[in-house]
Structure 1
Amino acid sequence: MKPGPDDKVRQFTVQPDDDGIRLDRWFKRNLPQIGFGMVSKWARTGQIRVDGKRVKPDDRLAAGQIVRVPPGGEQTGRKPKPRRELSEAEIAEARAMVIKQTKSAIVLNKPPGLATQGGSKTHHHVDGLLDAFVEGEGEGAGPRPRLVHRLDKDTSGVLLVARTPGSAASYSKRFSGRSARKIYWALVVGVPEVAEGTIDAPLAKQPGTGGEKMHIDEEGGQRAVTRYRVVDKAGNRAAWVELEPLTGRTHQLRVHLAAIGHPIVGDGKYGGKDAFLTGQISRKMHLHARRLIIAQPDGGKLDVTAELPEHFAASMESIGFDEGLSDASPLRGDDAPERSKAEKKQAARAHAKQYRKARRGERRTRSTPTKKSKPTAKPGSRKR
């Protein structure tokens, strides 16, 4: 936004990030010190003008339009929320997670064990580290990046953060509209009988858990759909699967896999003691947001892949799974050219070498599923 030459009447140009936004929300985003009541009064009395015309609070703006704002209107007693000063270690932690940056987004590879947002007993989380990416200082500082989706604390992988309020709105619309494509990798106990299929089972909060746990609820649950594909298997002991959630319910992948009798390795919450494998396999959860494909606000497509965390990569190697067997291509097809098996293996070795090098010397940080309903996977291809 660029103020006009008049010191009293202010004029702002609607930026591309704010294209299509309602007038009242434009004020909340760009002039938060002016309350909704004042915006409504100004609109009612014709003091707010857009390209010289009267407007209503719910009218939508277009990029390039000029918004005329009368002087004053600031609410007294309101102070901007101060930004928390981050330590050098926290800034380094935040920047170490970055795998890609664009004009509209910062893409992170979230490690397992780090919460996405805070809670009553959670004080260290991704959202608390986002001030590390604010450009500038003081009154001239840029907008604070915003989370537009979440990952469970123990799930690792691709986490997209929007740089501006406008890009946050655009990305949020993609996620809520289910046009964003998310591909996960998981190690599961046992091997699904159907090698490729769909799990369609509604989910609801499990009573008595305070909303901390979900379960299958055929009558009152919200529809939840997951597509999966078995990439490889280790006898009858374990399988490596690719997952694509077609809906975005809480703990969806974890509940769905446990419900068909193949809980994610390390997910004691939904798999109980059966979710843990013996031997050298880590007891941490083996669920990783491997790839995200999403349309960008200014056109084009963002396509990002996140490397496996240390415990997951070690388990893959211990079991004998070759990362080169999958390039995490979307389960509904992809325009990317197919790579040969040799190329996939070479890429996997390069990734593993780079990962071990980055991790070398790094300091290590410190109930059974409901049986009410057990959905069966709908066959999507031949058995393996």
Structure 2
Amino acid sequence: MTSSDSQIGTGVQILEVAPGFEGQRIDNFLLTRLKGVPKTMIYRLLRKGEVRVNKGRIKPDYRIKEGDLVRVPPLRMTAADEPVPLAKGLLERLEAAIVHEDKGLIILNKPAGIAVHGGSGLTYGVIEAFRQMRPHCKEIELVHRLDRDTSGLLMIAKKRSMLRHLHEALRNDGVDKRYMALVRGSWPASRKRVDAPLQKSNVRSGERMVEVNPEGKEALTLFKVLRRFGEFATLVEASPITGRTHQIRVHALYAGHAIAGDSKYGDEDFSKEIRDIGGKRLFLHASDLKVTLPDGEVLAIHAEPGEEWQAVIAELLNDGSAVSAKP
């Protein structure tokens, strides 16, 4: 038996994984199928083991297989076909942020402050907006994620085949992603890598944090100095070789050079000085993306950060203490 949208909210649902959907994480699969169900509810069900696959318990990072039978307990939710109407200004802003679009892929230069998906008190994000902006694209999905406060290049697949191809590329180091970050102090040119395992933990407030811990998952980030602003700050390029949550932010802190505007892992005094010259955002930006498409074309895209970032860099340059990094 396969459930339909009309059954949502009427009792137990059995969702059968159709061909072309295999390889997705179970949480992403449920977010797609259970329209109107809050993300927090889906994760709570997974944590409690109330979602079963082939009658067995699974973890939230389980990757579904073709033919899997996913049992979902009774739920109360809003109707699946009633998307939250989004402001015209937001839709226009996201449309203007697109830097590449073809029949299977959208890449946009996501502004800072916009979540990639709804949840945790948010009714919408980038993916909900694009489902309204491209209603004919029935299979549209996020390929990967960026933190809400991080700006930069974000891939959205318009077809299931593109999503599978790019997920495979991400798993096999077939995607080169590079970030720019403004960090505290003078980053030494000799510090080219941070290799430190990361582990997620919950603080007392319930907020999820990530920390360097020998018991964590291996994590490697490569760093390169782009420009120094005296002893005050450094603009660096960060290349995450692994893809852990908050990896660049925690590795920068671990190296002793917290990222400007980072409310979780930053240095408040440094962030305040950056705010005083107009920088009221997290100074982490996904600037470069290189990936091979299914037809063999190599797509390489660079995107500059927004006006606020540029204005802060200009202020630091006007200070007269900036020094370009040696090649």
TM-score by length of 1: 0.60
Secondary structure of 1:276's counterpart equals helix
% identical equivalent positions: 31
Counterpart in the other structure of 2:118: 118
| Cα separation, partners in 2 of 1:132 and 1:303, compared to 1, 3 Å | farther
Counterpart in the other structure of 1:303: 300
Aligned length: 253
Residue type at the aligned position of 1:145: I
| Cα separation, partners in 2 of 1:175 and 1:133, compared to 1, 3 Å | farther
Q: CA RMSD in A?
A: 3.0
Structure number with bigger Rg: 1
Residue type at the aligned position of 1:282: G
Task: Give the distance between the partners of 1:158 and 1:383, measured in 2 at CA.
Answer: 27
Native 8 Å contact 1:116 1:150 kept in 2: yes
Native 8 Å contact 1:198 1:225 kept in 2: yes
Counterpart in the other structure of 1:241: 236
Alignment of 1:106-255 (within 5 A): 106-134=106-134, 141-208=136-203, 210=206, 212-218=208-214, 220-255=215-250
Counterpart in the other structure of 2:81: 82
| Cα separation, partners in 2 of 1:25 and 1:299, compared to 1, 3 Å | farther
Counterpart in the other structure of 2:19: 26
Alignment of 1:6-45 (within 5 A): 25-26=18-19
Secondary structure of 2:109's counterpart equals strand
Task: Give the distance between the partners of 1:267 and 1:215, measured in 2 at CA.
Answer: 15
Counterpart in the other structure of 1:280: 277
Unaligned runs of 5+ in 2: 1-15, 23-31, 34-65, 68-78
CA apart distance, 1:302: 1.5
| Cα separation, partners in 2 of 1:252 and 1:24, compared to 1, 3 Å | closer
Residue type at the aligned position of 2:19: W
Task: Give the distance between the partners of 1:88 and 1:273, measured in 2 at CA.
Answer: 35
Native 8 Å contact 1:224 1:249 kept in 2: yes
Residue type at the aligned position of 1:91: L
Residue type at the aligned position of 2:277: Q
Secondary structure of 2:99's counterpart equals strand
CA apart distance, 1:251: 0.3
| Cα separation, partners in 2 of 1:194 and 1:86, compared to 1, 3 Å | closer
Secondary structure of 1:82's counterpart equals coil
CA apart distance, 1:254: 0.3
Task: Give the distance between the partners of 1:189 and 1:27, measured in 2 at CA.
Answer: 46
| Cα separation, partners in 2 of 1:225 and 1:211, compared to 1, 3 Å | farther
Native 8 Å contact 2:180 2:236 kept in 1: yes
Counterpart in the other structure of 2:95: 95
CA apart distance, 1:93: 3.0
Secondary structure of 1:121's counterpart equals coil
Deviations 1:232-262 (A, max 9, x none): 1011000010010000000000000011110
Alignment of 1:303-342 (within 5 A): 303-320=300-317
CA apart distance, 1:86: 4.8
Secondary structure of 1:270's counterpart equals coil
Q: Which has the higher strand share?
A: 2
| Cα separation, partners in 2 of 1:116 and 1:28, compared to 1, 3 Å | closer
Unaligned runs of 5+ in 1: 1-22, 34-56, 59-79, 136-140, 326-340, 342-381
Counterpart in the other structure of 1:330: none
Native 8 Å contact 2:94 2:110 kept in 1: no
Q: Which runs of 4+ in 1 moved over 6 A?
A: none
